[in-house]
Amino acid sequence: MSVHRFVTRPGFFRLLLASAVVVSHLSNLEIGRPAVMIFFILSGYWVTRMFDTKYAIASHRIRTFYASRLLRIWPVYACVLVLAVITFATLNISSQSLSLSNLTLIGLASTEGDPLGVSWSLDIELQFYLLLPVFLGLVAWSEQHRFGTLKLAGLAIAAFLWGWFLQLEFGIWTVLSYLPLFAAGMILARLEYLPTTRTALLSGLAFLAVGVLATLLPFTEDYLLKDAVTPFPEDWFGMFWALTLLPFIAWNVQQESPQLDRHLGNISYTLYLVHWPVILISQSFLPAQMGHMWKVIAILVSFTLATLIYALCDMPLERLRRQIIRRLQVKPAERALA
């Protein structure tokens, strides 16, 4: 397999996005936020596709869909959170946000504490899962998909305005603020849009160009720096930046994903979860004389720990999840005969 084909696989792309979040937490560059925005687009695509192909025609489809999504996100999150709490307590590292009370996850984005540094986005993800059947029910797709696309786009814009009003005025974080990203993924899934490789490449170049241009312009460079004062929320810029990559995303998700690539994509989730506690521990125990070398160590430990948690926790839980979902999809009469 050529290097070009390997790095354009869907799983490797997700791992690259998770790595951008890690680098962002280790630097003053705000590149993690756009990566999360791209994750939201990918989620909109994959979850809509799964709903259409696996759950829409299944018995008890809504119940099964909710159970499947919750069991995919929450158990591994809970394992990492419990492990982090125990480790911090053992090492006498204090962290106000690192508490077992955050196991609920839903509603966590609206609180001041984010135990794993990325938990807010998981809250937004779960809210999207809860509302997906509602969104699809409100938007009737026509045969040409034109009116369904327009309806969903209009709904996303209205939700975006209302969501940011709630967020800016009352501090209530909802999926509505990010619905244009999820909706973009949903539309890609429903349209089954496959751009040419050239169009995908141009999209990637446009994404890079926006990043380079943003660093050069005085009124946009602050959006790439943490804790900078900006005239409008940094997520707005991140959303715009992520949407420039849509053709590449539409092309990437339809590329072949062999077993190794699927493993890499799955490891991206555990890496996303474990890296922030590793960074905090590294800051506390590695000597300051090491300079930036402690960051390299934190990255290596994060990837190693993410791989171990994936093998020892995520993979067994995923097998259990599939067994539960298969059981839920069996009709009561069929279950009695089994």
Q: DSSP readout, 155-215?
A: HHHHHHHHHHHHHHHH----GGGGHHHHHHHHHHHHHT----HHHHHHHHHHHHHHHHHHH
Q: How far apart are CA 14 and CA 248, in angstroms?
A: 13
The CA-based angle 267-272-278, given to 5 degrees, is 105
Length of the chain: 338
Note the pLDDT of residue 330: 66
Note the pLDDT of residue 338: 45
Note the pLDDT of residue 58: 65
* Residue spans of alpha helices (H) in the chain: 3-7, 10-25, 32-50, 61-90, 119-138, 146-170, 179-191, 197-216, 234-243, 246-252, 259-285, 293-309, 315-329, 332-337
Q: How far apart are CA 325 and CA 328, in angstroms?
A: 5
Token pair 């590292």 in the structure block, residue: 93
Residues paired with residue 29 on neighbouring β-strands, in sequence order: 225
CB-CB contact of 72 with 86 (8 Å):
no
Least Cα distance to 224 among 37, 34, 40, 20 occurs for 34
Note the pLDDT of residue 333: 47
Q: Is residue 263 packed enough to be buried (19+ CB in 10 Å), middle (13-18) or exposed (0-12)?
A: middle
Q: Report phi then psi at 229, rounded to 5.
A: -80, 120
Q: How far apart are CA 136 and CA 55, in angstroms?
A: 13
CB-CB contact of 135 with 175 (8 Å):
no
Note the pLDDT of residue 213: 93
336, amino acid identity: A
End-to-end CA distance of the chain: 44
Q: Which positions of the chain have pLDDT values less than 70?
A: 1-4, 56-59, 96, 140-146, 288-289, 330-338
pLDDT tens sequence across 136-171: 877 766 555 667 778 888 889 999 999 999 999 999
Note the pLDDT of residue 151: 82
Which SS3 state, helix, strand or coil, does residue 29 take? Answer: strand
Token pair 């420039």 in the structure block, residue: 244
Note the pLDDT of residue 135: 86
Which SS3 state, helix, strand or coil, does residue 225 take? Answer: strand
Handedness of CA 307, 105, 93, 296 (dihedral sign): positive
Q: Share the mean pLDDT of the chain.
A: 88
Token pair 């800051």 in the structure block, residue: 283
Residues paired with residue 191 on neighbouring β-strands, in sequence order: none
Q: How far apart are CA 104 and CA 78, in angstroms?
A: 9
* Number of Cβ atoms within 10 Å of the Cβ of 36: 23
Token pair listed for 329: 């999809």
Q: Going by C-beta distance under 8 Å and a sequence separation of 6 or more, which residues neighbour residue 159?
A: 176, 179
Q: How far apart are CA 107 and CA 35, in angstroms?
A: 22
Least Cα distance to 69 among 113, 11, 129, 17 occurs for 129
Token pair 């490449």 in the structure block, residue: 201
CB-CB contact of 138 with 297 (8 Å):
no
Note the pLDDT of residue 226: 83
331, amino acid identity: K
